[in-house]
Structure 1
Amino acid sequence: MKIVGYSDRLSVRPGQTIKFMVSCEASSYRAEIVRLRHTDDNPNGPGFKTEKQLTSIEGKYKGHYQPIHTGSYASISHDPLLNCTNGFTIQSWIFPTTPKRGVQGILTKFSRVDESGYGLYIDENGSLSLWLGSRENLIKVGTGSALQERVWYFVAASYDPANNEVQLFQKQQTQWPDRKAEASIRKSVHSGAVNASQGDLLIGASRTPVSMDSAAQNHFNGKIDNPRIYSCVIEDIGKELTRPVSVVGNWDFSLDISSNRISDTGPNGFHGILINLPTRAVTGHNWNGNVSDFNVEPSHYAAIHFHDDDLEDARWDLGFEWKVPENFLSGVYSVHLETEEEEDYVTFFVVPVKPHSRIAFLVPTLTYQVYANHRYIDLMRAMLEREGIESNVPEDKYMKKHSLLSGYDLHSDGSGVCYSSQLRPFLNFRPRYRMPSQSLAAFSPRHLNSDMHLLHWLDNKSFDYDIITDHELHSEGSKLLSSYRVILTGSHPEYWTSQMLEAMELYQTGGGRLMYLGGNGFYWVTSFDPERPHIVEVRRWRGTRAWEAAPGECFHSTTGEIGGIWRFRNREPQKMVGVGFTAQGSGENRPYIRKPDSLKDEVAFIFDGVGEDELIGDFPALVLEHGAGGFEIDRLDHIQGTPKHALLLASAGGFSDTYQITIEDQLCCNPNTGGSRNAMVRSDMIYMEGQKGGATFSVGSISWCSCLSYNGSNNNVSQITENVLRRFSEDSYS
């Protein structure tokens, strides 16, 4: 892709301004705003549909390429005291995760521009190394003993200009009789080996040779715990000092864990900031397993996990900005960027200042953000990529080339990606994007393009609706929902904060009506960073997961709450919407079969126009090709909290063994987890009445909305959805 953009926010209201950043390899590009109506270009559906909008940003802009620099580190602003030209000692604990992956900076104040300063590194051979620069000469001294991965080491280095000598020391925390756990070296160097560097002090990286203020390089993979610098030469550098002696900087990472700040507890207050979202609330070298919550014993969490592929902000220059006119309609929009050869779409959502409809569609922007830049390669099919089979989709290639990761991916060192930031391109958040061939549901649309199936259907049926998003729901609470008679979810509203759940529960108990038109919703505990709301966090454990948080690292650094799935925090989805995640798979979807509850008088309106023995959704779909029940599916379960008065209207069953029950529903290994043997592998449709005239209708399937447009929307999935929505949007129907 030679033209790519992103915005500084996912949703905006009339009167507010949204900014767009663009990288374009051509000399110029054109921009315009279009309203998205249907973004799945499958020829079996309505096709790709947009409507051009006349706006002030339409026009031609100068193009220039903008790179993406991944890799996290800490930065402490330059101060002459940090130059330490009269001698120094550096000490730290490190937990390298990829020590054999080239040069990596541990603590550096070194400039390759003029070869000045000093730095403690892992060298190209995987051993500890001290670099000294005098502008005329570069000295590198290493222990020659390769560091093992995923082992805590105490490391130290000193420079003594009086004796023209350097020392290095490394020692494993855990020692084994048949392994060399310790290495050290003492070596003479020439006089004046260190010259002052004007660059910042970096922890977890070093500065690139291009210029003083450009991107860092030589990123460290792994944890660093309590790095410090002394302005003296400690003779026994392998001994940790118990009292401060000539401290220049002593950084205690157990402080301000929920922020991007690092604190220097020494006399100089050389505090710093973290760049590109390294992982906090991780176990340090002294964690003994007695406490698993950093809030209880922060001293055991005095480490930060740095990665060479972390990214918080692409930091691109502004392309243009747009103040949304006061009368602009709520809806789903994109900035359409175009050169003579290529195009890109940057999608955003316009939310009304105040409600204009009885119906609101809740866009699952939190789910979109966690999935952002996920290339959907499942664990089994990932083997194909290693054999040279790779996606030819331009978006997938761009994601891989620029190390753009989602909350489903692993960092390059194998640790899970627990943060996701808005301030970067979302390449799978594009009209027409389909899941690639290596994915579980290959060639199907998902998320935005799947949710547009529902919005196009609403337009076709002449329903008036507003667009609201997870981001507003989190910040504004139940007040956002209270004016709407009915709230519609998308196909996969998986990620929810506690504030969002509380708001939805208040809406329901206050008489609100909810149509849950998807599968695997209300599942993962998710949090926004209160100081940086463009960041969300997920810590995966005790659920069906793409990765698992390391032992002792299940609490969110941003809010301090325990992660995992809501089921284990007394917020089972069944309590709110009657059904909860039960299975997922690929292959052919299944139709729903009506159950006895569907014949009761109080739900006759739901099946008006649908035969008693009619299979529901037994026809072509735009997700997994056929059937309304499938992909990720939910079941009714009274043990998990489904209210006793909930009515089971229909179920889709008979799935193949490509569908497996969720991990959290398996207590031991057994062969009966597939669709052909396990009764829990099913998709249930339920209806339940609530307080004050409220009600909930749930379908328990991601694929449901992909059937709405079949046969010009003349089908029973469309009929049932329309029946419920028309009744729910009335003032009273009981």
Structure 2
Amino acid sequence: MPGSTHPLPPHLAIELPGLHAYAGAVSVAAGSAIGFHVSSSVPYRFSLSRVGPDPDDASLDTVVHADPAWQPEGVQAIHPGSYVWIERGLQGPLPSFTLECWISPWDFGDRQAIVTQLDDASSHQGYGLLIREDGSLEFRCHGPDRAGCLTGPRLAERTWAHIAAVFEAGAMSLWLNGERVALGTGPSLCDPGPAPLRLGAQGMRGVACGFLDADMAMPAVHAAALDAAGVARRANLRAQRSDGPGLLACWPLSEGRGARVTDVSGQGRHGEIVNHATWNIAGPAFDAARVPRFSAGMGEHDPQSEATRHGLRFASDDLVDCRWTETHRVSIPIDVQPGLHVGRFEFELEGREVRYDATFVVRRAPAAEPAPVLVLCATNSWRAYASSPFARNVAGAAHWPRRAAPLPNSHPDAPAYNHYTPHRKGQPTYFAGLRMPWPNAATDAFYAPEGTGFCQGPRLERHLHAWLERNGYAYDLVSDLDLHRDPSLLGRYRCVVINGHSEYWSAPAFEGLDQYLCEGGSAVVLSGNTMYWRVSFDEEGTVMEQRKTLTPPDEQDGALPKHAAPGGPHGEQYHSQDGQRGGLWRFNDRSCSDVIGLETAGWAFADADDFGVYRVHDAQHFLYHQPHETGLGVGDTFGHAPGGALPRAIGHEWDLSIATLRRMTHHVPEGAVLPAPHHGIQVLAQGIRRVPGAMDAYLDFFEGATESLGGLSAEMIYWERPQGGRVFHAGAVGASWVLGVDEVFGLLLRNVLHHFGVQPT
């Protein structure tokens, strides 16, 4: 039921104006087919193209397929909001019962359902425990003779509370943390009615709505009306036990993964999660101090065995799968060259000509001879930054604000969150669905700071692709998901190039790259903030998970700041997809510097002056001279347009060696270890930023704020690893940006490829 292969129970629908689309796969091999899923309120023309060398000139793109006519395909609705659907509700009439659970609400402003078997279209059947718009509790019971509605006090945001709603032969009461807070009258009997039982939603004319924005633990329904002692005993258990006589239903929410929610009462009221929700949250009795901050440590290896983690987080805008039907299917010719491709939709909206591109990767045909070079597309990062998947259509290239802030939405209730902006009520965003539009990944889209022409996504990565083609280098292209699924594919290539903003890496990809290098492989890293966060994927490869949690300076006396993004509370690092610890790779006892020599050291989001340049450090290094003479001497600059103009490579985010980070780390937190410098790293150049920005952040190894060393922001290194393999690392997100405008950097890169056994054809 919660996945795309199961029917969705009746659910509140949102119809989107304009056109929105996604490809059916992140990547596809030449010679196979790819589908597109489109929702459109306007007629449009569809084509498929391999993008050309200029993101601002689509006439240079190669058209692979085109439909000759405009086609109105129609609107496909979205259905956001997570909850648990339980087909078998209570049977009645009921002379007595008790609803109880633990709740930590995130925010208010909308009517929210906690536990209901209720349809608001029926005035004489059903029951429910709800939260009103102002945050106050509401308990409703409907019976043959009358309806009862009891109001309780306002709940506190982001604070666990035990709630019990008791009904007994006309008497209704509400209890909060073991104390009675409201008493009233209701029907003589409660008639549950035919509506399904729902956790985190209610019904309206048979359609799920009123979605909950809260964390929930240990919901249960007792046949008896618990007395004061019984309610107090349940509250004191802190949601760690599910005992008690006469249970009509009890869901400990201890699964920790998957879509099934088990009823342990013996009554068979098992549930299915709709729209994913979030497992492995910090429950009412959770002790975050048990979880080490700066290493995987001991004592918290198996979150499923820790009862204090049991619970489920709901969000009214949860959505990881649009569930749209396929509207177009195109066969990719087997002789198409690997590269970035788009499904292109052109239409007129409000008198404006609009182009909407759905980006995907075409890999080389399986039977074709591999190229010498493999280029990795940072598709995990594109997905992590995909705010406003249903953004309002715009004419021309979209410009995404700094820190992936949302663009204006096509519908006010459509989800807009990503891994850098929270859910509507402030919940941290741990999941990103791949069956969703990602207009931020359009190959011409910009990314802040405005006025620089900079982008961290496909627009940036295209600079390398175009440079390789102009200089006669054959290359293959794969996505992050391809590498996650088959790390052994690296072994077919003389050299792998990590390009752009390659920030999010799964364990198979991380370990696969290390193994490839240990076996003598070579890596060119034209990226910054590289291999920073650990991600995982579900079995189908359609949902990406990461677990960012707040650092001590972000936390306020153990409570989350209002609408803090993107981190959740410390202790929620453990993934629900594989049970392993997530967060930063360096705090999982696996620093990326052990693999590629450098670690993330900071970021900036200012303006055009924010971007710096490389300054030659070791002018005698052979890579400056063989086989192409660069003519660079000590102190000379490169990595910029002529005269030091934009584009300039050093900005946005950058990486430094452990040796340098040690000089910037002035405090080692308790329980942490500062790693030793790596042997054999040769620094070719230093990336210098002389103009401080208002949003600069220089970080030490433990993510603490520190100062730059005279503007040193990045290091360009060559490393023959003692464990095997060779690495050239440019240390900055903008490294590819200058290719094509800086001939000297181009010569240096040609020398690197030559040294790694790659020649132009």
TM-score normalized by structure 1?
A: 0.84
1:730 alignment counterpart = 758
Kindly indicate whether the alpha-carbon contact (under 8 Å) linking 1:14 and 1:327 is maintained by their aligned counterparts in 2: yes
1:196 alignment counterpart = 193
Kindly indicate whether the alpha-carbon contact (under 8 Å) linking 1:486 and 1:513 is maintained by their aligned counterparts in 2: yes
Q: 1:238 aligns with which of 231, 235, 243?
A: 231
SS in 2 for 1:703: helix
SS in 2 for 1:489: strand
Q: 1:171 aligns with which of 168, 171, 176?
A: 176
SS in 2 for 1:90: strand
2:595 alignment counterpart = 576
Structure 1 residue 194: deviation in Å?
2.9
2:416 alignment counterpart = 404
Structure 1 residue 556: deviation in Å?
1.8
**Pairing 1:205–2:201 present:** yes
Aligned residue identity for 2:376: L
Aligned residue identity for 1:484: Y
1:33 alignment counterpart = 48
Structure 1 residue 207: deviation in Å?
2.4
**Pairing 1:347–2:359 present:** yes
The 1:150–1:569 alpha-carbon spacing in structure 2 relative to 1, beyond 3 Å, is closer
1:12 alignment counterpart = 28
Q: Could you list the per-position Cα deviations for residues 591-641 of structure 1 after superposition, in whole angstroms to 9, with x for gaps in the alignment?
A: 212123x4034763276233325421242699x934222221112233656
**Pairing 1:593–2:615 present:** yes
1:454 alignment counterpart = 464
Q: 1:647 aligns with which of 670, 673, 682?
A: 682
Aligned residue identity for 1:634: D
CA distance in 2, matches of 1:271, 1:114: 25
The 1:135–1:426 alpha-carbon spacing in structure 2 relative to 1, beyond 3 Å, is farther
2:154 alignment counterpart = 146
Q: 2:639 aligns with which of 596, 612, 617?
A: 617
Counterparts of 1:66-145 in structure 2 under 5 Å? 66-77=76-87, 79=88, 81=90, 87-98=96-107, 100-115=108-123, 116-133=125-142, 139=147, 141-145=149-153
Structure 1 residues 686-695 or 462-471, which shifts more?
686-695
SS in 1 for 2:587: helix
CA distance in 2, matches of 1:537, 1:84: 46
Kindly indicate whether the alpha-carbon contact (under 8 Å) linking 2:601 and 2:699 is maintained by their aligned counterparts in 1: no
Aligned residue identity for 2:720: E
The 1:500–1:400 alpha-carbon spacing in structure 2 relative to 1, beyond 3 Å, is farther
Structure 1 residues 299-308 or 236-245, which shifts more?
236-245
**Pairing 1:63–2:73 present:** yes
Structure 1 residues 557-566 or 396-405, which shifts more?
396-405
1:226 alignment counterpart = 218
CA distance in 2, matches of 1:490, 1:48: 25
SS in 2 for 1:730: coil
Structure 1 residue 706: deviation in Å?
1.1
CA distance in 1, matches of 2:553, 2:533: 10
SS in 2 for 1:687: strand
SS in 2 for 1:720: helix
Q: 1:157 aligns with which of 130, 155, 165?
A: 165
**Pairing 1:686–2:686 present:** no
Structure 1: runs of 5 or more not aligned: 174-180, 376-388
Q: Could you list the per-position Cα deviations for residues 491-543 of structure 1 after superposition, in whole angstroms to 9, with x for gaps in the alignment?
A: 11111112111100111111211110111101112222346643322333559
Structure 1 residue 330: deviation in Å?
2.2
Structure 1 residues 660-669 or 695-704, which shifts more?
660-669
SS in 2 for 1:686: strand
Instruction: State percent identity of aligned pairs.
Output: 22
Counterparts of 1:238-637 in structure 2 under 5 Å? 238-239=231-232, 243-254=243-254, 256-289=255-288, 291-292=290-291, 293=300, 295=303, 297-341=305-349, 342-352=354-364, 353-354=366-367, 355-373=369-387, 396-398=408-410, 402-435=414-447, 444-477=454-487, 479-530=488-539, 533-541=542-550, 547-585=566-604, 586=606, 587-596=609-618, 598-601=619-622, 604-605=625-626, 608-612=629-633, 614-619=636-641, 625-637=646-658
CA distance in 2, matches of 1:434, 1:147: 42
1:378 alignment counterpart = none
The 1:455–1:532 alpha-carbon spacing in structure 2 relative to 1, beyond 3 Å, is closer
Q: 1:715 aligns with which of 711, 731, 743?
A: 743
Q: Could you list the per-position Cα deviations for residues 5-35 of structure 1 after superposition, in whole angstroms to 9, with x for gaps in the alignment?
A: 0123211224554332111112x32211111
The 1:697–1:335 alpha-carbon spacing in structure 2 relative to 1, beyond 3 Å, is same
Q: Could you list the per-position Cα deviations for residues 541-575 of structure 1 after superposition, in whole angstroms to 9, with x for gaps in the alignment?
A: 55999533303222222222222211223332322
SS in 2 for 1:62: coil
The 1:709–1:300 alpha-carbon spacing in structure 2 relative to 1, beyond 3 Å, is same
Number of equivalences: 680
Aligned residue identity for 1:247: L
The 1:249–1:726 alpha-carbon spacing in structure 2 relative to 1, beyond 3 Å, is same
The 1:171–1:404 alpha-carbon spacing in structure 2 relative to 1, beyond 3 Å, is same
Aligned residue identity for 2:61: T
CA distance in 1, matches of 2:499, 2:648: 18
Q: Could you list the per-position Cα deviations for residues 396-416 of structure 1 after superposition, in whole angstroms to 9, with x for gaps in the alignment?
A: 434876222111112233332
CA distance in 1, matches of 2:408, 2:136: 35
CA distance in 2, matches of 1:531, 1:268: 32
Aligned residue identity for 2:383: Q
Kindly indicate whether the alpha-carbon contact (under 8 Å) linking 1:25 and 1:64 is maintained by their aligned counterparts in 2: yes
SS in 1 for 2:456: coil
CA distance in 2, matches of 1:48, 1:394: 30
